[in-house]
Amino acid sequence: MLTELDTFTAKTRAVDQLTKRRTRPVHQRKRAAQKKLSGLISHDRPITSSVDGHAAPHAPQPPTFTESASKHGLTEPKPESAAWDRYVAFAQIVASFATIIALVAAAASAFAAFQAVDSTREQTDTTRRGQLTDRFTAAVDQLGSDRQEVRLGGIYALEQVAKEDPSYQPVVIGILSAFVRLHGIPSTSAAPAGNVAQDHADAYAAFTVIARRNPDIANKDIVDLSHASLVGVNLSKVNHNAYLQSALMSGVDLSDANLDRAYMAGATLDHAVLSRVRMIGNLSSINLEGSILVDASLPGARIQDGDLRGANLTRAKLNGAYLAHASMIDAILIGADLGGADLRAAFLDGADFTNAQMAKADLRGTDLRLVLNLDIDQLNESRVDETTTLPPAFSWSGTKVEQK
């Protein structure tokens, strides 16, 4: 057994050791204290050995740190103190503030960069608009040149300006329409069908640019080609469907023109010269009043609600055309091919059907009382029924038309 002096000395040394090691990390202080106290306490337990061949009892387990410290009046050192907790909490707050400041700085930097980019974009747009204005002005000046190649360059330059900035399109179309009216292709050029005389290539190019403009924004365009001469113009090879909706083309000369795929709904071509013209496409509500369409090729054309009053359609090919509700009052249809045409509810007062081919033409629901030169054979070749109002000289028997 230890003497009281030895015990006191051990306590004092343990306290000194704990005091001196406070500055060490917590886990090192804990291990050092446990090792020291375990060594001191080991003398308080008797160790027996084997006597007379008898096995010694099991050696007692070394006391825990808590038991040894309690026996000598010591307490287990705590790894964290209240001061340490406050320090850790303060450090976390400082770190949070540092993170917030870093985020704010990053956001400010990003905003400054965005402002710089936006400013650069505005400067670029301003520069681009200025360049477009200069190009537009130069192109318009080219149209007044005496040299055809210079005029052609101006026409295509205007088209490119309108493509790059759609707000220019209405102005460009107006300028090119005026150019076509002034520099049209006269009928005296005797250009072969489907071709344009080389001397008028610029007028053809201007008309082609008008026809292939962007239809999505064409509602603001005014295509005025009134009384222009475009003999032999060919739009069949325009990349997109020619867009001539609501175009003003009164008195225009489109003899021998190929307008396949042209979209001309609502266009005004009254008193136009369309001899031998080829038109396959949407012509709904088109105004062809008084137009000359002699030998015109309009197979399958959709001309519903169209105005064909007084139009000369002599020998015109209208087979399969959709003419429902079209106004054809006083139209000349001498020798016209109306086979399979839809004439339901068309207005035909005064229309001349002399020698017109009527095979399978649909006349159901049509008033024929005032038509001219429509004989019984033509009527029986066409599709009629009880809803058809026949001329006074004929009657419907239920199966066919009969002479009264």
pLDDT value of position 364: 95
pLDDT value of position 53: 47
Number of structural domains (the chain) is: 1
- pLDDT(62) > 70: no
pLDDT value of position 182: 87
- Domain-located, residue 35: yes
pLDDT value of position 266: 83
Distance from chain centroid for Cα 376: 56
- Domain-located, residue 83: no
Range of the domain at 30: 1-43+62-78
Cα-based distances in Å from 92 to 82, 96, 269: 15, 6, 84
pLDDT value of position 31: 66
pLDDT value of position 255: 81
User: pTM above the 0.85 mark?
Assistant: no
- pLDDT(125) > 70: yes
pLDDT tens, position by position, 272-299: 888 888 877 778 888 889 999 999 988 8
3-state secondary structure the chain: CCCHHHHHHHHHHHHHHHHHCCCCCHHHHHHHHHHHHHHHHHHHCCCCCCECCECCCCCCCCCCHHHHHHHCCCCCCCCCCHHHHHHHHHHHHHHHHHHHHHHHHHHHHHHHHHHHHHHHHHHHHHHHHHHHHHHHHHHHHHHCCCCHHHHHHHHHHHHHHHHHCHHHHHHHHHHHHHHHHHCCECHHHCCCCCCCCHHHHHHHHHHHHHHCCCHHHHHHCCCECCCCEECCCECCCCCCCCECCCCECCCCECCCCECCCCECCCCECCCCECCCCECCCECCCCECCCCECCCCECCCCECCCCECCCCECCCCECCCCECCCCECCCCECCCCECCCCECCCCECCCCECCCCECCCCECCCCECCCCECCCHHHHHHCECCCCCECCCCEEECCCCEEEC
How many Å apart are CA 265 and CA 83, to the nearest integer? Answer: 89
How many Å apart are CA 201 and CA 224, to the nearest integer? Answer: 19
User: Angle at the Cα of 293 (from 339 to 302), degrees rounded to 5?
Assistant: 50
Burial class of residue 326 (count of CB atoms within 10 Å of its CB; 0-12, 13-18, 19+)? buried
Reading the block at residue 112, the tokens are: 């400054």
- Domain-located, residue 11: yes
- Domain-located, residue 9: yes
Averaged confidence pLDDT in the chain: 79
- Domain-located, residue 108: no
- pLDDT(389) > 90: yes
pLDDT tens, position by position, 100-115: 888 888 888 888 887 7
- Domain-located, residue 7: yes
Which is higher by pLDDT, 173 or 188? 173
